[in-house]
Amino acid sequence: MAVHWTREERYRRLDSVDPEEYDELTKAVANAPWRQKYHVQPLAGLLNDPNGFSWYNGQYHLFYQWFPLGPAHGLKYWYHTVSDNLVTFENKGIALSPDTPYDSHGVYSGSALQAGEDLMLFYTGNTRDEKWLRTPYQCMAKLDRQGVFTKWPRPVITGVPDGFTQELRDPKLWKEDGMYYCVIGAQQTDQTGAALLYKSEDLHDWHFIGEVRTELGAFGYMWECPDLFSLQGTDFLVFSPLGLKPEGLSRNNLFHAGYISGEFDLETGIFHHGPFTELDNGFDFYAPQTMEAPDGTRILIAWMAVPQLPYPTDKDGWANCMTLPRVLTVEEGRLKQRLPASWNKPAEQAATMELTAAGQPELLPFGGDCYELQTDVQDVTADEVHIDLRVRGLEYTRITYDRNAQQLIFDRSRSGEPVNASEGHARITVLSRPLQQLRILVDVSSVEIFINDGDAVMTSRIFPGEDSTGIRVQAEGGTAKLSFRHWTLDGIAFKNERIL
Ligand code: FRU
């Protein structure tokens, strides 16, 4: 159920709220149902895009868009978390507040890049006038080794180039051949999406180069959160275009996030590429951002939600979480997405089971609401194999392998409290080869499924009862040999300390 927030309520600053009252809110949220155990989530209020994902001073830094007061897209802050290993994250507090004339209506999304001793942060300062017309500024701040954040007094990019609207935001920076570059999400005056390129020698003085010249034609009405990088000789533009329509089995969410890959020429802005491909085939995935780890690996993290949709936690005063981080690689021309190696756990610590699934549903001897389940699938003669998670009575979340269609189907129609019923009940991944392996990460209100060693990923929120903890398997029209390894993940809790 949508909770309505007036504009006045949405643009109220956190420091205008009585600290005790806010403490009450965070305490109530901490005890609310469906709080995650190991995913990054807000103390209260609404979390959206990952920002400033980076490595600095011996740690991973992950910031996120945050409206502290409730489950609404209001006045945004950057909230700061850190991690040593991409498994356990910990709260550090507010990094950037909307407290200057250049970000009075929100410290919007952006990125981070180390320069010298400091971590430089780039974000869009969102402003509105009395008529509620938007003017964006691209702003800079830094985090130093003492942990102090300092904003530059003036934006580094003001105004928008000719031919573009005020919808210009989400700068993503990188350094190449001694030069700094950034790509910014944009909209052309004909209401089509674009990504703009800027360049700078010193991070202060920026020059507009032009737009990324793709072969997509008119493709949505605005591009958010672009990210441009090269991976093993292939160039990628990751972005979140607004306004795409469903296309067969894909693009069935309200908003989408994906990539084009191929060859990009920074001199001319020309990108030769293949089709736009979604990065995730589940229900809840948007605004991904990548970073380069110290060992050169490319790691992606995203917001586990879709913009503008209500979620069942809204009534408890909070909304949304991050996905788990994923390592990207290119193998035989295909993008692979896997959990970082720090997620690997000793096989001896797993509870294991092998069985031949047949007509009768069978409950596995383990389960829970916070675990990893790995499954190997062999000798499938069945038409369909079901793996049901979070089972209790008539409630369950169903993963189905349809052997004939070579599809994996994620169905949350019986998962508990319905989510965005207008979005349909199932999402489908068309597999590039028969199903062999699943790596499933269950948290209190989410499921992430890594299919066939990272060929595809399906990420979704679910809102089951707390006693819905069973795992059940069944084959229809034949049999399938399945082996399971199960690890309880209660031990890796996200350190959700109440730090502002
Ligand atoms: C994407 C987005 C960004 C913007 C931010 C505001 O979800 O709309 O374009 O910077 O969220 O919170």
pLDDT in tens, 281-304: 999 999 999 999 999 999 999 999
In a domain, 495, yes or no: no
Please indicate, yes or no, whether residues 353 and 244 belong to a single structural domain of this protein.
Answer: no
Last residue of a domain, one of 283, 313, 340: 340
Mean pLDDT over residues 413-423, rounded? 85
Please indicate, yes or no, whether residues 73 and 99 belong to a single structural domain of this protein.
Answer: yes
| Structural domain that includes position 59 | 7-340
The predicted-structure confidence for 176-196, as pLDDT tens digits, reads as follows: 999 999 999 999 999 999 999
**Rounded distance from Cα 287 to ligand 1 centre (Å):** 8
Give the domain CATH number at 222: 2.115.10.20
In a domain, 496, yes or no: no
Four-residue CA torsion sign, 401, 405, 410, 414: negative
Q: Probe ligand 1: pick from 10, 103, 109, 285, max atoms within 8 Å of CB? A: 109
DSSP string, 182-230: EEEEEEBTTS-EEEEEEEESSSSSEEEEEE-B-S--S--SEEEEEEEEE
Please indicate, yes or no, whether residues 331 and 434 belong to a single structural domain of this protein.
Answer: no
Please indicate, yes or no, whether residues 80 and 208 belong to a single structural domain of this protein.
Answer: yes
Please indicate, yes or no, whether residues 146 and 284 belong to a single structural domain of this protein.
Answer: yes
In a domain, 173, yes or no: yes
Query: Over pLDDT 70: what percentage of the chain?
Result: 99
Would you call 406 helix, strand, or coil by DSSP? coil
| Pair 95, 103: CB distance under 8 Å | no
Please indicate, yes or no, whether residues 305 and 350 belong to a single structural domain of this protein.
Answer: no
Tell which atom from ligand 1 comes closest to the C-alpha of 110: 10
Q: What's the rounded Cα separation, in Å, for the pair 496 and 31? A: 12
The residue written with tokens 């040999």 in the block is 481
Per-residue pLDDT band at 4 (split at 50, 70, 90) = confident
Please indicate, yes or no, whether residues 60 and 132 belong to a single structural domain of this protein.
Answer: yes
Burial group, residue 189, by CB count within 10 angstroms (0-12, 13-18, 19+): exposed
The answer, yes or no, to whether residue 389 has pLDDT greater than 80, is yes
Please indicate, yes or no, whether residues 311 and 189 belong to a single structural domain of this protein.
Answer: yes
- Between the alpha carbon of residue 493 and those of residues 313, 443, 474, 489, the distances in Å are 20, 10, 32, 8
Q: Comparing 286-290, 336-340, 346-350, 419-423, which segment has the lowest mean pLDDT?
A: 419-423
Last residue of a domain, one of 340, 374, 399: 340
How much is the mean pLDDT over the chain?
96
Q: Give the chain's radius of gyration (CA, Å).
A: 22
The predicted-structure confidence for 8-32, as pLDDT tens digits, reads as follows: 999 999 999 999 999 999 999 999 9
The predicted-structure confidence for 146-167, as pLDDT tens digits, reads as follows: 999 999 999 999 999 999 999 9
Nearest to 78 by CA among 14, 22, 146: 14
Q: What is the model's pLDDT at position 15?
A: 95
Catalytic residue, chosen from 49, 227, 284, 443, is: 49
In a domain, 157, yes or no: yes
Please indicate, yes or no, whether residues 391 and 284 belong to a single structural domain of this protein.
Answer: no
Per-residue pLDDT band at 420 (split at 50, 70, 90) = confident
Please indicate, yes or no, whether residues 399 and 310 belong to a single structural domain of this protein.
Answer: no
Q: Probe ligand 1: pick from 47, 64, 65, max atoms within 8 Å of CB? A: 65
Q: Probe ligand 1: pick from 107, 121, 224, max atoms within 8 Å of CB? A: 224
**Rounded distance from Cα 65 to ligand 1 centre (Å):** 8
Last residue of a domain, one of 288, 322, 340: 340
The predicted-structure confidence for 347-356, as pLDDT tens digits, reads as follows: 999 999 999 9
In a domain, 494, yes or no: no
User: What are the residues facing 46 on neighbouring strands?
Assistant: 67, 319
Give the domain CATH number at 379: 2.60.120.560
Burial 455-492 (b: 16+ CB within 10 A, else e): bbbbbbbbbbeeebbbbbbbbeebbbebebbbbbbeeb
Domain count, the chain: 2
Q: Which protein residues are within 6 Å of ligand 1, measured from CB? A: 48-49, 65, 76, 108-109, 124, 169-170, 185, 224-225, 287, 307
In a domain, 499, yes or no: no
Mean pLDDT over residues 244-272, rounded? 96
Q: What is the model's pLDDT at position 1?
A: 42
Mean pLDDT over residues 382-410, rounded? 98
Please indicate, yes or no, whether residues 192 and 333 belong to a single structural domain of this protein.
Answer: yes
The predicted-structure confidence for 96-131, as pLDDT tens digits, reads as follows: 999 999 999 999 999 999 999 999 999 999 999 999
Q: Residue 103 catalytic?
A: no
Task: Tell me which H or E stretch contains 26.
Answer: helix 19-30
User: Which tokens belong to 213?
Assistant: 């010249």
Q: What's the rounded Cα separation, in Å, for the pair 443 and 448? A: 9
DSSP string, 282-326: SS--EEEEEEE-TTS-EEEEEESS-TT---GGGGGTEE--B---E
| Pair 100, 83: CB distance under 8 Å | no
Please indicate, yes or no, whether residues 140 and 167 belong to a single structural domain of this protein.
Answer: yes
In a domain, 165, yes or no: yes
Per-residue pLDDT band at 3 (split at 50, 70, 90) = low
**Rounded distance from Cα 500 to ligand 1 centre (Å):** 22
| Pair 355, 443: CB distance under 8 Å | no
In a domain, 336, yes or no: yes
The predicted-structure confidence for 197-226, as pLDDT tens digits, reads as follows: 999 999 999 999 999 999 999 999 999 999
Mean pLDDT over residues 303-326, rounded? 96
